[in-house]
Amino acid sequence: MTAPLVMRGVGKRYRRRWALRDCTLAIPERAIVGLAGANGAGKSTLLGLTVGLLAPTEGSLEVLGRDPRLEPEVLAGVGFVAREAPLYRSFTVGDTIRFARATNPGWDASVAGEFLTRLSAGDRVSALTAGERSRLALAVALGKRPRLVLLDEPFERLDPLAAREFLQLLMDGVSELEATVVIASHVIADIERVSDHIVLLGDGQVRLEGSAEELISTHRLLTGAARPLGRIAGVEEIVRKRSSGRQMTLLVRIDGRVVDPSWSVDEIGLEDLLLAYMAPERLPGPEAPEKGRLRWHG
């Protein structure tokens, strides 16, 4: 089984600015991938490249084993919901489904139907709520029975309840289709809930990639007295350093066990880990870390 999405040194430049640079990754089959990153980190660019809406400036990519720019037919196996779920506003729900049927030879009405239970065919798209609209867009994306599903900021305009409902529908749908899913979001909490694989982008580069367990098991928080830092046994790299008063907290990547008794070693949750990677190297204004669960953000 090949990876449904492979990128090798992919870069995309808009005029002078690189939106994505030197991006190398392989998404495992049937994974639920959280594509995290701050606004402007390159998430939409990465998805745009994957569906062939954009052409890479450098590097090469394979979607379901093929280059989406050279063989756009591969898009039949990719379900994509762009940011803000663009649909034809003047269409009704029925028109939209008919459009999807007309433009997708492999259309499966029964898959799409599950998302449309509470929508009536005569409703205009422009009159739908954000949640209903997202469901309709998802119905179109999954009704073509894709092997790879890409969602760009799907929760952005949804209230928490609608977001949860959307996520539930999505998970039911993809488990039935046995599809791989990539969810791009800047809200880490959304991603953390469902993802078993993480790709973190920052300033157009891949900062972190791996399965959730792998990432958690290779990172630790070290807390101890402030001191000049040298090598710590078992630590591969110090990712972030934060001192408050006489105490110091380190986020480290480990390659063994940290046994140094002068550090207290804690596991870090996925959400905190991602936020720590997204945060700038030096955080302004030291704060005392909370007891028990250490946080890296405000």
Partner 1 sequence: MAWVTWRQHRHQLLIGLALIVALALAALVTGLPMQTAYEREALSSCLPPAARSGCDIIVRHFQSEYGGRVDVAGYLILLPALVGMFIGAPLLARELEHGTHRFAWTQSLTRRRWLLSKTLLLALAVTLGAVILSAIVMWWRHPFDGLEGRMSPGGFEIQGVVVPAYALFALSLGVLAGAALRRSLAAMSLTLAVFVAVRLAVAELLRPRYRSPEHETMAGLVPGAHARDWVLSNSLVDAVGRHITSAREDLAILHAQQARIDPQEYLLSLGWRRALSFQPADRFWTFQLIEAGIFVALAAALLAVTVWFVRRSPS
From the list 97-105, 166-174, 193-201, 206-214, the region that binds partner 1 by CB under 8 A is 97-105
101 contacts: CB under 8 Å, gap ≥ 6: 107, 109, 143
SS3 for 63-111 is: ECCECCCCCHHHHHHEEEECCCCCCCCCCEHHHHHHHHHHHCCCCCHHH
Q: Is residue 43 near partner 1 by the rule CB under 8 A?
A: no
CB 142 within 8 A of CB 78: no
Closest approach, Cβ 123 to partner 1, in A, equals 16
Least Å distance between CB 58 and partner 1? 14
Task: Give me the least distance between CB of 206 and partner 1, in Å please.
Answer: 21
Cβ atoms 100, 112 nearer than 8 A:
yes
Under rule CB under 8 A, residue 144 binds partner 1: yes
Interaction of residue 55 with partner 1, rule CB under 8 A: yes
Contact pattern for partner 1 over residues 2 through 31, marking x by CB under 8 A: ------------x-----------------
Q: Which is nearer to partner 1, 93 or 250 (CB)?
A: 93
Classify residue 290 as exposed, middle or buried by CB count within 10 Å of its CB (0-12, 13-18, 19+). exposed
Name the DSSP letter for residue 155.
T
Of 119 and 137, which has the nearer Cβ to partner 1?
Answer: 137
- Please give the size of the binding site for partner 1, defined by CB under 8 A: 32
* Distance from the Cα of residue 66 to its chain's centroid: 22
Asked if 53 interacts with partner 1 (CB under 8 A), we say yes
Output the smallest distance, CB 104 to partner 1, in A.
4
80 binds partner 1 (CB under 8 A): yes
C-alpha torsion sign, points 145, 149, 150, 154: positive
Range 150-209, binding partner 1 (CB under 8 A): none
> How would you class 6 by CB atoms within 10 Å of its CB: exposed for 0-12, middle for 13-18, buried for 19 or more?
middle
Asked if 89 is part of the footprint of partner 1 (rule: CB under 8 A), the reply reads yes
- Alpha-carbon span 203 to 278, nearest angstrom: 10
Q: Structure tokens of 182?
A: 């990539």
Backbone angles phi, psi at 142, to 5 degrees: -90, -20
Q: Residues 2, 9, 24, 106: which binds partner 1 (CB under 8 A)?
A: 106
Residue 78 or 250 having the CB closest to partner 1: 78
Q: List binders of partner 1 among 207-246 (CB under 8 A).
A: none
Minimum distance of partner 1 from residue 138's CB (angstroms):
12
The residues binding partner 1 (CB under 8 A) are 14, 48, 51-55, 72-73, 75-76, 78, 80, 82, 84, 86-89, 91, 95, 98-100, 102-106, 137, 140, 144
